[in-house]
Amino acid sequence: MQKLRSSECSLYRSDMKKAEDINPEKNPSKKGKATPKRKDAVAATKVNSITSPVTKADRSKNRETLRAARAEARAAYMRGDQNALPARDRGPVKKFVRDYIDSRRSLGEYFLPLMVIVLVLTLVPSAEIRFVAIIFMYGAMLYSVVYGFFVTKNIKKQVAERFPDESTKGLGMYGWLRSTQMRRLRAPAPQKKLGEQV
C-alpha cells in the first residue's frame, strides 16, 4: 500500500512539472510570445564595431590598391625577380637555363604561328597545297623534337659545368618548352638579347 502511494505521489509531481513547463508565466525561460523578426533579433544583439563602417568609396579604394599590387607583382615576375617567381622558375640554375634559351634563336619559337598557317592551307581546295602543308607541319614537328633532344643535352652539360652541386633533373624539358614559346610571350620575359653571351 505504501509503495502504491509513493508511486501516485511521483506521478503527481511529474504532472505538476509538465504544467509549469507549459505555463510561460511560471517558467519565464520558455517562449511566451511570437518569435521576433530576424532583423530585430540582429539589431538587439548587435555589438558596436570599433572601426567605422566600410563605405562605397573605401571599397573602391581597396580595389584600386589590390589592382596596383597585382600589377606590381606581375611586373616583378616578368622582370625575373626571385621573390616574385614561383618555385618552378626560382633559383640561379633556372635563370641560367632561361638565359641560355633566350640568347639563341630556334625554329621552335615559330611553331605556333606555323601551325596556324598550316591550318589555313589545309582549307585550300587544292590537294597539292594541302599535301605540302601537312608535310611542312610534320617536318616542323620533327625539327622541334630533334632540336629539343640536342638542347636538352647541351643544357645539362652546361649546368653540370657551372653548377656542379645542382641536379640537372627536369632542366632539359624546362628549357625545351621555353624554346617552343614565342619570344614575346615568354614568362618571365627574356633578359638576354639574341646572340648575347650567357
Based on the fold, state whether residues 68 and 128 are members of the same structural domain: no
Q: Say if residue 102 is in the same domain as residue 146.
A: yes
**Residue 53 resides in a domain:** no
The answer to whether residues 109 and 70 belong to one domain is no
82 shares its domain with 98: no
Number of domain units in the chain = 2
Residues 74 and 158 in one domain: no
Position 42 scores a pLDDT of 61
- Distance from C-alpha of 91 to C-alpha of 79, rounded to nearest angstrom: 14
Assess if residue 19 is contained within a domain: no
124 vs 79, 128, 140, CA distance in Å?
43, 9, 20
* 24 within a domain of the structure (yes/no): no
Tens digit of each residue's pLDDT (9 = 90 or more) over 89-143 = 999 999 999 999 999 888 788 888 888 888 888 888 888 988 888 898 888 888 8
Q: What is the pLDDT of residues 1-24, one digit of tens each?
A: 444 444 444 544 554 444 444 444
- Asked, for residue 6, whether it belongs to a domain, the answer is no
Which domain covers residue 114, as residue numbers?
A: 91-198
CA dist., res. 86 & res. 75, Å (int): 14
Final residue belonging to a domain, choices 41, 72, 88: 88
Q: For residue 87, what is its C-alpha cell?
A: 618555385
The span from the first CA to the last CA of the chain, in angstroms, equals: 109
Together in a domain, 83 and 160: no
The mean pLDDT of the chain is 79
CB 135 within 8 A of CB 154: no
Nearest to 190 by CA among 76, 73, 58, 99: 99
